[in-house]
Chain A
Amino acid sequence: MADEHALELIDLRREFAEKVAVDDMSLRVPYGSFYGVVGPNGAGKTTALSMAVGLLRPTSGRALVQGIDVWADPIGAKQRLGVLPDGLALPERLTGGELLTYWGRFRRLPKDVVAARTEELLRILELDEAETLGTLVGEYSTGMRKKIGLATALLHAPKVLVLDEPYEAVDPVSARVLTRILRRFTEGGGAVVISSHVMAMVEQLCDRVAIVARGQVVADGTLDEVRRGASLEDRFVELVGAPEVDEEELAWIAS
């Protein structure tokens, strides 16, 4: 059991005052899988993933990385994790290269390994030109921030990647590069968990999906198990529910 799953969430729960953000959520991410977590805004995706990577203490429940409890043995678990959180600050006043150098040395990688990987990551993610211009991370565009965040997640060659909205604001060319990187990662036996709103992309990328709504997993399994013959988007709307738009509303737009 200990090593059966790359990442496992067991009855994770987080309450903020009277609001239950994550309601006893359980998920199993097998090795080599590309796992998509989808759900509407405020469904609890980010909160659940934050608890899974050690950023937010759960009210109850456990999160295991390769069988290691994130909250009982944080150091062991974190060495195996690569994380891209959504919408958090970085050391804004460093260039991308400086950030990766800092991060690599903070992660105790040897100096030449850090230098080589930093150079390679900046080149492949097409951040090298910004680097020669000395652009600081605080001045990066949203897409560039995602890319440098990904680079920090990959730098120490983890076994499990947890990426919150990794494709958001990333241009199509960079998205392809990113997909190639992540595919190679899963082919090597690593597991990738991404959260997203974009159903078509999840359908195209992921082999496993969980639909999250109101803090709970309402459907999960392989893509086909969840879709049941329909498109993922139809299934999602069916499970989550969508507000009606009246014909009369916003009629002036078409005038």
Chain B
Amino acid sequence: MDRELISLKFTMLRNTTPGLRKVGWVFGALAVLATWAVAVLASGDQVRASALTLVLALWGLGAAIGPVLTSGAGVLRADYFALLPLPRAALGRGLLVSVLVSIASGFVLLALLAVVVHALVVAPATVVVVLVGAPLTWLLVVTLSRLVYGLLGAAMRTKLGVEIAGVQFGLMFAAWFAGWMIVQVAVQSIPRLLQDGLPEGPITTVVDALPTSWTVLAVDAAAGGDWSRAGLLLLALAAVDAVLVLATVPLLVPRGAAVEKRRRRRRSPGLVAGGGILPATQTGAVAMKEVRQWRRDAWRALESSTAVWTGAAIGVFAYLGGYTAPAAPFAGLIVAFMLGLSGCNLYGQDGSAVWQNVVGQDETSVRSDVHGRQWAMLIVFLPRAIVVTVPFLLLTQAWWTVPVLLAAIPAVFGAAAGAAILVSALGVSPGVDPRRRRGPNDANGNIALHVWIVLLLVPVTVLPTAGMIVWSQVSGEPALVVGAVVAGLLNGIAVAWALARVAIGYLATRMPDVFSRIRYGQVFRRSDDDAGLLSWIESTTLKGEQDLAKQKQKQREARLARAGR
């Protein structure tokens, strides 16, 4: 059966878009090369051993958290097999074996074999130890990866899973935005690592205790003549493998349907049509719906959590970066900025539910919808920005940033909320309909242009505030400082309102077209419609979607051609 499962898995992988996976292969290959480079370039035996243990520990960590980032195409889910007459133990084993046979796991094995270099240098006979130890470590790392993935419940089904994925995405974005800070630290420390190894102390003790290091330790022991210690270490590794496999297999086989239980507390019928604190107006209704979507929709929850962790990570980078430390409180601005990126496809994320905006249209419905969505974004993101800012403010004691933040936060929030809603309206990207979403990456289609427009629009529209802040900081006059704060607030309100107005003007006559883009992937309109920047954005984003669809169609045809051969 193992063979059938492996072939099923590769068939599924063939039927998915290879784009991101190819990027993953490149990074995987680079990581393998880096691991071998560490083994080859280290300055001495001691240094090589400690550097290798650290790198292998990083591989273990990466494998443990990595799969959460991918949407899990090609992961054979246990429930596929729930109806088949298969023994549970055999199925569990087969599913685990199917995880071991993959490109990613091949990279892991190649990286772990870098210990061979160490063995060859210290004592060629100890290569035997590596030939036993590396596969054992490989089984450990890959099983651990599957165990963590299983425990997180495909990562997105629980609040904790969303939060963990948020940390990962946050680190990724932070690395993009402020990667130079990490590069700076890495450039300083890698030569030191290759020269001196890990500094003796608690770190080495911890790293040595990790099972990923035991092969290296066994090589050292065997090289020193203590073959029995080497054997014991390998046995211990095998024992850990056995425990992990035994813990993982039950997670892989189908379980009875989980009992659905959402709330501990029964809701009183009186609350059903609940009052709520938001005003009982059309705008209030939209805001009410949106705030709940932001909290309950796994994708949106991930976006808002990513915004927080991106801000927090950049704040930490800045705080640890020495001279950049006083800038750490500006992390809250990153949260505000991320709002613009998170909200740049709101209508697309609603998917075909947009039909309600079409059939429910009245004189004010479009305006209420646009403003309600903006209010919801503020309600969701503003507290998060404050939560990220305050700790850094207290840590750095950089009180001079307070007036700057008071001016900049409202300005960036307004600009981001305006840019997001406008781009959402012009460039609806349906992705997967909310009813059919499985993975967290299903919510958006092709939003490359959306992101660029927001990235451009936000800085440009906050220029007045930026100017006021610079002027007030240079002159230092209290009146100007107050003026900057007022300017920031007005700037934010004005941009949010003005961009929303453009969006409203656009949507007022085109709500059915927005629905058409989602439902039919095209817009049915007469060709005599106006040309202009808005139409350009509309048609360019639509073309992006259609190109994506065409590309998928081509791949499908190529597959059919292959299958027919």
Contact = CB atoms under 8 A, between A and B. Distances in A.
Q: Judge: A and B partners, yes or no.
A: yes
Interface in B254-269: 260, 262-263, 266-269
B562 interface: no
B360 A55 contact: no
Contacts of B272: 95, 97-98, 101, 118-119, 122, 128, 131
Given A93-B297, A139-B260, A75 B269 contact: no
B359 A83 contact: yes
B442 interface: no
A212 interface: no
B524 A133 contact: no
Nearest to B355: A88
A214 interface: no
Contacts of B288: 98, 101-102, 105
A79 B362 CA distance: 8
A252 interface: no
Interface in B338-358: 350-353, 355-356, 358
Contacts of A57: 512-513, 516, 524-525
Among A59, A85, A88, the one with the most B-chain Cβ atoms within 10 Å of its Cβ is A88
A89 B262 contact: no
Interface string B346-385: 0000111101101111111100100000000000000000
B565 interface: no
B281 interface: yes
Interface residues of A, number: 50
A78 B511 CA distance: 13
Given A81-B359, A119-B273, A133 B266 contact: yes
Interface in B120-141: none
Interface in A82-124: 83, 85, 88-95, 97-98, 100-108, 111, 114-115, 118-119, 122
Given A97-B272, A98-B292, A101-B273, A90 B356 contact: yes
A54 interface: yes
Given A56-B524, A132-B269, A136-B262, A89 B361 contact: no
Contacts of B296: 93, 136
B533 interface: no
Contacts of B368: 106
A105 B285 contact: yes
B413 interface: no
B27 interface: no
A55 B355 contact: yes
Interface in B439-471: none
B266 A91 contact: no
A89 B272 CA distance: 21
A138 B353 CA distance: 12
B512 A103 contact: no
B488 interface: no
A59 B526 CA distance: 9
A101 B292 CA distance: 13
Contacts of B351: 89
Interface residues of B, number: 48
Contacts of A174: none
Interface in A1-15: 14
Given A55-B512, A81-B359, A92 B292 contact: no
A128 B352 CA distance: 26
B168 interface: no
A16 B524 CA distance: 9
A216 interface: no
Contacts of B262: 133-136
Nearest to A111: B280
B81 interface: no
A167 to B, nearest CB: 20
Contact of B434 (A79, A81, A92, A152): A92
Given A74-B361, A78-B359, A136-B296, A89 B266 contact: no
B433 A54 contact: no
A53 interface: yes
Given A122-B272, A133-B266, A89 B359 contact: no
Given A56-B520, A88-B355, A98 B289 contact: yes
Nearest to A128: B269
B418 interface: no
Contacts of A95: 272
Contacts of A100: 273
A155 B297 CA distance: 25
Given A131-B272, A134-B262, A138-B434, A54 B359 contact: yes
A104 B368 CA distance: 14
Nearest to A116: B273
Nearest to A131: B272
Given A102-B289, A108-B282, A138-B434, A53 B267 contact: no
A107 B332 CA distance: 37
Given A94-B292, A98-B289, A133-B262, 17 more contacts: A55-B355, A55-B358, A57-B512, A57-B525, A74-B512, A78-B360, A85-B359, A88-B355, A91-B293, A98-B292, A103-B285, A104-B273, A105-B281, A108-B282, A111-B280, A122-B272, A132-B269
29 contacts: A53-B359, A54-B359, A55-B359, A55-B515, A56-B516, A56-B519, A57-B524, A57-B525, A59-B524, A89-B350, A89-B351, A91-B293, A92-B434, A93-B293, A97-B272, A101-B288, A102-B286, A106-B282, A106-B356, A106-B360, A106-B368, A108-B282, A114-B273, A115-B273, A119-B273, A133-B266, A133-B267, A135-B262, A139-B260
Please give me the 6 A-B residue pairs with the lowest Cβ-Cβ distance, nearest first.
Answer: A105-B285, A97-B272, A93-B296, A115-B273, A89-B353, A88-B352
Interface of A: 14, 16, 53-57, 59, 74-75, 78-79, 81, 83, 85, 88-95, 97-98, 100-108, 111, 114-115, 118-119, 122, 128, 131-136, 138-139, 152
Interface of B: 260, 262-263, 266-269, 272-274, 280-282, 284-286, 288-289, 292-293, 296-297, 350-353, 355-356, 358-365, 368, 433-435, 512-513, 515-516, 519-520, 524-525
